[in-house]
Amino acid sequence: MIPDIISAVLILLGGVLSLAAALGLLRFGDLLSRMHASAKPQVLGLLLVAVAIGIQFPTWATVTTLAIVISFQLVTIPVATHMVGRAGYRTKHLRRSMLYRDELAEAVDRAEARELAWERKRGIGTDHHDG
C-alpha cells in the first residue's frame, strides 16, 4: 500500500507541474516566456511519472524501457524547443522590452554589416544580373 501511495504522490507532483505549465501558457504574454513555462512537465513531470511506474513495476524490463522513454524525451524536446525559439526570433515573436540581454543581436548586426558590404561590392563590381 505504501508504494501505491508513493506512486500516487509522484503522479500528483507531475500533475502539479503540468498545471504550472498550463497556467504559464495562460498567463504569460510572450512566446519565450511560454516556452520557459512549457518545458517543465515535458521533462520533469514525465520523469516523476516514470519513477512512479518504476516503483510499481521494479523489474529490469520496465525500468530500462522507462529509461528509453526519458532518453528520447531528453533528446527530442530541446530540438523542438530550439526550432520554435529560432522561428520565434526570426518572426519577432518576442518583446524586446522583456529581454534582459540579447546576445543574438550582435551576431545579427555582424551579419547585416556583412550583407551590406556584400551588396556594396556587388553594386560596384560587374553587374551581370541586370545587364
Partner 1 sequence: MSSLVFDILVVAGSVLLGTSAIIALYRIVRGPSILDRMIATDVVLASIMCGLGGFMALSHRTDLLPVLIVLAMLGFVGSVSVSRYVSKSDSMTPGAEVGALSDFSSSDWHMPKDAEDDSTDAETAAESEWFEDVARGISDVADGPEAVTVRDEAEDGHSEAEDGHDAPEVGLDVGSDPDVDGEGEGTGPDPGPEDSDDSSRTGPEPDQTDLDPGAEGKRP
Tell me: does residue 73 bind partner 1 (CB under 8 A): yes
Site for partner 1 contains 117 (CB under 8 A): yes
Distance between CA atoms of residues 99 and 82, nearest Å = 17
Interaction between residue 127 and partner 1 (CB under 8 A): no
Alpha-carbon distance 123 to 11, whole Å? 64
Least gap, CB of 81 to partner 1 (angstroms): 8
Q: How many residues bind partner 1 (CB under 8 A)?
A: 80
For residue 42, the minimal CB distance to partner 1 (Å) is 4
Task: Please give the angle made by the CA atoms of 52, 24 and 79, to the nearest 5 degrees.
Answer: 70
Residues 29-68 touching partner 1, rule: CB under 8 A, are 29, 31, 34-35, 38, 41-42, 45-46, 49-50, 52-53, 55-57, 61-62, 65-66, 68
CB of 125 to partner 1, least distance (A): 10
d(CA 49, CA 42): 11
Site for partner 1 in 2-21 (CB under 8 A): 4-5, 7-9, 11-12, 14-16, 18-19, 21
R_g (Cα) of the chain, nearest Å: 24
User: Footprint of partner 1 on residues 81-100 (CB under 8 A)?
Assistant: 81, 83-84, 86-93, 95-97
Whether 35 and 84 have beta carbons less than 8 Å apart is answered as: yes
> Count of alpha carbons within 13 Å of 51, Cβ hemisphere only?
15
